[in-house]
Amino acid sequence: MPTREEHASSLRDSVTQALRARIVAGELPPGTRVVERQLAEQLGVSRVPVREALRSLEREGFVEERATRGMVVRRLDPDDVEMLFAVRESLEAVLAQRLVAVLDDAGLAALDELVGRAEGHADAGRLGLAVAANADFHSALVELARSSVLSSIIEPVSGRMAWLLNQHTDPAAMLAEHRSIVTALRSRDAERTAAVFRAHLATSRDAVRRAGSA
C-alpha cells in the first residue's frame, strides 16, 4: 500500500501533468491568471497539490508570479524563444541519428498512422485535434528512439516547444513536413534525415518570428 508521502507525490505529479497539458494545448493562454481555488475545484483536489504543481510549473518556465496579479501563464520573450530553438536544434541532431539507427518498420508504420490522423482532423476542420496529433508525432519520435537518457533530456524542451508552436503555427502546414520526416527515416540515410529535421525546425522558427513581429 502506498505511503501517505507517496500518495501526495503521485497526486502532485498528476495535477502538474494536467495543468501543463492545459497550458500546452492553449486552454490556458499566455497572460491567463491561474487561481489555486478555482483549479482545485476543477480538478477535484485540495489546494495543496495545486499550489505545489504551480511551483513546479514555475520552475519549468510555464507560469510566473506577478506582484499585482498572482500566478499567471508566461509569455516567452524573444530571447527565450531563440534559446529554445537553439537547444532543440542540437537535440534533434542527436535524435535523428538515433532514429535512423534503431527505428524499425513497426515504428515507421506508427508514425504514418499519426500523420494520417492529423491529416484527417485538419481536413475535417478539427484544428485542435490536428494540433494534438502533430504533438503526438513529435512525442512518438522521442519514444521510438528507445533511449531513456535522450528522453529525459528532450521531454522538458519538447513540452515548451509544443506550447510555443501551438500558439503560432498552422497545424495543417506541418503535415507535409512530418511526411517528409517519415520518408527520410524510411531511407535510413542519416545525413538526409538530419537535414529534414533542420528544415522542419527552421520553418517553425520562421513562423514564430513572423508572429512575434506582427
CA distance 108 to 39: 39
Burial class (CB in 10 A: 0-12, 13-18, 19+), 138: buried
Residues 6 or more apart in contact with residue 140 via CB below 8 angstroms: 110, 111, 114
Per the DSSP assignment, residues forming a β-bridge with 66 are: 70
What's the one-letter identity of residue 97?
A: Q
Local confidence band at 110 (pLDDT 50, 70, 90 cut-offs): very high
Residue 120 has pLDDT above 80, yes or no: yes
Cα separation, 195 vs 173, whole angstroms = 18
Give residue 212's pLDDT: 64
User: What number is the average pLDDT over the span 86-95?
Assistant: 93
Q: What domains sit in the chain, N to C, each tagged with a CATH number?
A: 4-73 (1.10.10.10), 78-213 (1.20.120.530)
DSSP for 51-86? HHHHHHHHHHTSEEEETTTEEEE----HHHHHHHHH
User: d(Cα 113, Cα 24) in Å, to the nearest integer?
Assistant: 23
Which residue in 89, 101, 94, 85 sits closest to 164, CA to CA?
A: 85
- Residue 80 — pLDDT band, cuts 50, 70, 90? confident
Q: Over the chain, what is the mean pLDDT?
A: 88
